[in-house]
Amino acid sequence: MTGDGTRTVRAGLPEAEAYAPTLPGPVFAAHYHLPGDAVGPYTYGRDGNPTWSLLERAISELESPGTDAETVVFSSGMGAISAVLLSHLRQGDAAVLPSDGYQLLPALVERLAGYGVTVRTAPTGEDAQLTALDDRTKLLWLETPSNPGLDVCDIRRLAEAAHARGALVAVDNTLATPLGQRPLELGADFAVASGTKALTGHGDVLLGYVTCRDPRLAAEVRAWRKTVGAIPGPMEAWLAHRSLATLQLRVDRQAATALALAEALRDRPEITGLRHPGLPTDPAHQVAAGQMRGGRFGCVVSFTLPDKERADRFLAALRLVDDATSFGGVRSTAERRGRWGGDAVAEGFIRFSVGAEDPDDLIADVLRALDAASAAASDTASDTASDAAGG
């Protein structure tokens, strides 16, 4: 199987068995029949589950097709991220993380510092994390494209530099998905992602995963999962596997519409800082085009409106877009990212996740909402001016 669509539809399915379902239902079990010694594929519910196994095999086939890669699934993306960092860093080690990555990374940095790990940070863009590497570095963490700023770094270049210093390399591949980018093929040791986002794509599952080609690294991550109990439920794992079948259809539709939306926003006078790696004018485009696959530059578009009030009016005026966090779902979402704190963004910064709606309908809704927000801002300014004149 070589085509992405064929691979996503067939990934992780068991061998055909007469009268059995093509994708078996979730296995709900805390324990299994276990005669004799405690050996075998399934011994206890925290160690393994047949439903996890099928999903893990499926993700491995997508992240690293044609290899013996191993995937370990978790109850959330943060569970997966924590497992890599906390299972491979010890007191006295140093790590390099992005300064513009996911907003919970600073909380992990604080935790690592408490364990005696030195953490240095640098921005994703222009491969700035190269400057933070030294011979003490044990792990380099990349997030490309970054969330929410959509900067991109050269995975192969950074991985080669880190490996030359004896460091491992992990890449958060959440925004790209394994159809848009394969970090392990570009030299990374770990491909990590929140399956909550585009991988499952329906906004109804929390999930994370780590994929490795080195079985020793995978074993360490798996042991961490067992120790802390960050395991997914069988229903969540089954829903995720079911959803994989449409991944290529969803990703291609969302990427194409995201690029069309970004192009439609380029000339809007109220918008600044428009970012999407697929735009030829985007600062990240050249690097992204060299390592992201099939013209799939992700479903997220980011931009900044003049202030918090304008952003809130825009979000309230949208009819086809939910004001919600997360990204990658079949229903478009958008949010004023500054409401969470933790991200170095302006108050009017919007992270927009493009769904699977008809492109013309979605773009028309966005442009109409922008017009409505601008008109309301003009009315407010006129009222203010009138009040001042009357006073």
Are the C-beta atoms of 96 and 129 separated by less than 8 Å? Answer: yes
* Cα dihedral value 327, 279, 143, 72, nearest 10: 60
The three-state secondary structure class of 10 is helix
Q: Is 42 helix (H, G, I), strand (E, B) or coil?
A: coil
Angle of helix 308-317 relative to helix 359-390, nearest 10 degrees, comes to 130
Q: Where are the beta strands (DSSP E) in the chain?
A: 70-74, 94-98, 118-122, 137-143, 168-172, 190-194, 208-212, 272-275, 300-304, 322-323, 333-336, 349-353
Question: Of 55, 50, 69, 49, which is closest to residue 11 (Cα–Cα)?
Answer: 55
Q: Determine phi and psi for 76, rounding to 5 degrees.
A: -165, 165
Peptide bond before 280: cis, by omega within 30 degrees of 0?
A: no
Order across the sheet with 94-98: list the strands. 70-74, 208-212, 190-194, 168-172, 137-143, 94-98, 118-122
Q: Which position among 127, 151, 172, 282 bears the catalytic label?
A: 172
Q: Is 19 a catalytic residue?
A: no
Token look-up 């929390």 returns: 206
**Catalytic residue, candidates 7, 138, 182, 197:** 197
Cα 116 from Cα 113, distance rounded (Å): 5
102 given a catalytic annotation: yes
From first CA to last CA, the distance across the chain in angstroms is: 75
Catalytic status, residue 46? yes
For the question of residue 214 being annotated catalytic, the response is no
Pair of tokens at residue 251: 């990703």
Catalytic residue among 10, 42, 44, 46: 46
The active-site residue out of 7, 100, 102, 151 is: 102
For 196-259, the DSSP string reads TTTTT-SS----EEEEESSHHHHHHHHHHHHHHT-PPPHHHHHHHHHHHTTHHHHHHHHHHHHH
What sign does the CA torsion over 17, 23, 25, 30 have?
positive
Catalytic residue positions, numbered: 46, 102, 172, 197
